[in-house]
Amino acid sequence: MVMILPQIQNNKLAFNIVLTYVFVLSLPYLGYTQNVTMTYEESRIITGGYELPEYKSESSDSLLNSFLEEAYHQSDALKAAYQSWVAVRSQTDQVGSLPDPEVMFRYFINPMKYDGPFAQGSIGVMQMFPWFGTLDENRNYVNLLSHAKWQEVDSARLEVFEGVKTSWYRLVLVHRRKEYLKEHLEWVNRLMQLTRSRVESGYASRSDMLQLEMEKIEIETMLEALNISFSSEQMRFNSLLNRNATQEVTLPTGRPEITWELTYEETLNLAITHNPSILNLEILDQAGESMEKRAKLEGYPMIGVGAEIMGRNSSMQMDGNRIPIYANVTIRLPIWRKKYKAILSQAQAERKVIEYEISDKIRSFQAEISSLMSVYKEADVRVKRYRDALLPKSRELTDLLLLDYSNARIRLDEVIQMRRRSVEYATMLEEAIFDRNMATVSLQRFTAGVEF
């Protein structure tokens, strides 16, 4: 450098070259070198020519899984759904038992002769039995209802998990946007130091400093807004886990990315066979079939078997010293058939309703899954474009423009504009990944988390 300076006649140009040389020499200490080894923890966006950091996929992120497990055990909505299932399940013992036996006691007030109070009384017992297979069908019906109710519990679980994942990925998005802005603020501060030296030496104007100061204020304003947004989302996340609203949420050091590899047809088939809302309707259809059988069985007679022990003087016709014992059989005839026909008609109508609901649900799934697949593919295209092309090119161009500014070949506002554009590309990349993650989360809910 000492040998070069004497050969330069123009002092102003010499000073520019010195500043540029010093600035370039300082780049390795600022993480600007070509051979810097970047780790995924860093959100650097102002370097020139280095390879983009590899962000590990965290589709099975242990931190998120721990939050999901916590929500599974702490969610009040899930607890309520579970207790609702317990209530239905407890009906099995109610419908699977025989009717209560009937006990009858009689006392003959005016016997022909009095031999004591026990001699003129009688006691009997009667047990009614439903038609063969009725109790088993009752138990089967309630079991089907409990299975259907369990699908509602599973739906509640998937809803809670989707809420936790959505809030989690949104927290990560806001956090990474904050990191980019902080790094951008650091870049502006470094550039302000360079510009301040140029202003003091007469090679830059006060307007350059004002532009940087305004840029700094804008960044700080956006950071304050993101802090508010992060705090609000953190409260929502904690509420899903039934925790203290202000409890700090631990975030991953990397960028969690989840992808969806199944085709539309594979996804739809999994949704139809595994989604709890579909399974719930299919089980309710089976319950409707069971209800039809119950209606038919209740239309058959009930049989009662009993016995009666009578005292010697419980009737005028009684004579002798033997205690009479009577066995009896009762048949309850369902003569009034209108009630049972109405039950059968109700069951058939409900099965028709469920059949239509299943068809409507499948058509709804077809539309929603198709829409989600489109959202996923569109977001995936944006991720690839920003990550592989726009972001690295904007970084490189920003550094080149910065060198041009150091050599007084362009204005500062051009550097700031390109730098801001680079930050926007980085933010758009994060938003594209967030959109892709959200589409994947929704698809996971449709397939009940089944992927194969």
In a domain? residue 191: yes
Instruction: Give the pLDDT of the chain (452 residues) as one tens digit per residue.
Output: 333 333 334 444 443 433 443 333 333 333 333 332 223 333 333 333 323 333 343 444 788 999 999 999 999 999 999 999 999 998 887 888 888 898 988 777 766 666 666 667 788 999 999 999 999 999 999 999 999 999 999 999 999 999 999 999 999 999 999 999 999 999 999 999 988 888 888 888 899 999 999 999 999 999 999 999 999 999 999 999 999 999 999 998 878 899 999 999 999 999 999 999 999 999 999 999 999 998 888 888 999 999 988 776 655 555 556 677 888 898 988 888 888 888 889 889 999 999 999 999 999 999 999 999 999 999 999 999 999 999 999 999 999 998 888 888 888 999 999 999 999 999 999 999 999 999 999 999 999 987 54
Q: Does residue 437 fall inside a structural domain? A: no
Q: Domain residues for 52?
A: 31-97+130-262+280-299+334-353
Instruction: Tell me whether residue 381 is in a domain.
Output: no
In a domain, 257, yes or no: yes
Question: What CA–CA distances, in Å, run from 257 to 51, 185, 308, 372?
Answer: 19, 26, 78, 17
**Cα dihedral sign for 123, 128, 129, 135?**
negative
The CATH number assigned to the domain holding 52 equals 1.20.1600.10
pTM beyond 0.95: no
Domain contains 203: yes
What is the total count of domains within the chain? 1
Is residue 221 included in any domain, yes or no?
Answer: yes
The answer to whether residue 123 sits within a structural domain is no
